[in-house]
Amino acid sequence: MKRALKLFRAEVVRSVLLTIRYPIELFVGLFIMYMLFMGLFLGARSLVGDTQVLNASLDGFIISYIMWFFVISAIGRLAFHIESEAQMGVLEQIFLTYPRMLSLMLVRSAVDFCMSLLVVTVLLFSIMATTGKWLAIGTGNILQILVLLVVTVTGIYGFGLIFAGLALVFKRIGQVGSIMQFAFFFLAYLPVEQLTGWLKVAVYSLPLTLGVSLIKTVVVEHGSVFSGPESWLLLGLVINSVAYLLVGSVVFLICERKSRMDGRLGQY
């Protein structure tokens, strides 16, 4: 446990230092995410024409967007990071010093989540301030939202581990990662609630979808996931996330082994 805390501290320091040393990356990223949202928002408004209709579904729109941000972080940052560290050569030094790579990746995911949470807060406030649409987040539902957020994000980072593993073996997976991020953009906006039958089950068993829909239940429809029939869905979400975490971990371990077999932890 003490070791885990030391790791956590080391990763926080590294991550904060790298961020503040090159703040441009952070600001540009934030700015692009903000502009992308505004583009979508203004585009949708000119298409729909009717501001009323759009405003009615705007909170759901914002929630999907914000949750997509975590996907970008989990799939993008973690996997790209490993890719560039392998190319730099620093990955070998890290592995040699701390060979339990999966634990390190989990700690990194936790740190990355905390950092993303800060960025997301800024992004969310900017979005809410410019659109004038304030999400109903308050003392009444903040606990539920946080629980849903953490559980959903656990699944997303689990899924991200698959890409981190693939990055170890194949090195250049940037392209696939980008395509994946857009696939998730689609998933985040899929009107899952309107699907029925097996299709619904299939879509819900992907990462992200169920979590987004539950957060909407809490924030938009003022429902509760701690009681009533929705609590079963929360259980489903927990199972979904744990499953992705397990699958991601196993894939990562297999890839790590494969990478060591091929001598590809470095940039050979």
Partner 1 sequence: MAGTTNQQGAFRLEGLTKTFYPILPWHRSRAVDAVQGVDLVVPRGCVFSLLGPNGAGKTTIIKIIAGLILPTTGRVTFYGKDGDKLRSRPRLGAVLEGSRNLYWRLSPMENLYYFGELKGLSLAQIKRESEELLEMFDLTHKARASTQTLSRGMQQKVAVAVALLGKPDILLLDEPTLGLDVESSRLIQQRLRELVERDDRTIILTTHQMELAARVADRIGILSEGKLIAEDSLSNLVAFFRQQDYELELPRLEWEQLRADVSAFRFTEGQSAANEEMRVTFHLDNREGYYALSELLLARRPEFTTIRQVTPSLEDIFLQITQHYSDGEDGGGA
Q: Which chain residues interact with partner 1 by CB under 8 A?
A: 3, 6-7, 9-10, 13-14, 17-18, 21-22, 88-90, 92-100, 169-170, 257, 260-263, 265-266
Residue nearer to partner 1 on the CB measure, 21 or 50: 21
Rounded-to-integer distance, Cα 12 and Cα 117, Å:
14
Please, are residues 59 and 145 in contact by the beta-carbon 8 Å criterion? no
Rounded-to-integer distance, Cα 251 and Cα 144, Å:
31
> To the nearest whole angstrom, how small is the minimum distance from the Cβ of residue 176 to ligand ATP?
22
Residue nearer to partner 1 on the CB measure, 59 or 256: 256
Task: Report the site for ligand ATP in 54-113 (rule: CB under 6 A).
Answer: none
Report in angstroms the alpha-carbon separations of 237 from 111, 156, 212, 227, 230. Answer: 22, 12, 10, 14, 11
Residue nearer to ligand ATP on the CB measure, 93 or 130: 93
> To the nearest whole angstrom, how small is the minimum distance from the Cβ of residue 111 to ligand ATP?
30
> To the nearest whole angstrom, how small is the minimum distance from the Cβ of residue 216 to ligand ATP?
48
Residue 23 found at the interface with ligand ATP (CB under 6 A): no
Rounded-to-integer distance, Cα 212 and Cα 226, Å:
16
Residue nearer to ligand ATP on the CB measure, 133 or 264: 264
DSSP secondary structure string for all residues of 151-213 = HHHHHHHHHHHHHHHHHHHHS--HHHHHHHHHHHHHHHH--GGG--HHHHHHHHTSTTHHHHH
Residue 263 found at the interface with ligand ATP (CB under 6 A): yes
Rounded-to-integer distance, Cα 24 and Cα 129, Å:
23
> To the nearest whole angstrom, how small is the minimum distance from the Cβ of residue 163 to ligand ATP?
22
Residue 261 found at the interface with ligand ATP (CB under 6 A): no
**Which residues lie near ligand ATP (CB under 6 A)?**
263-264, 268
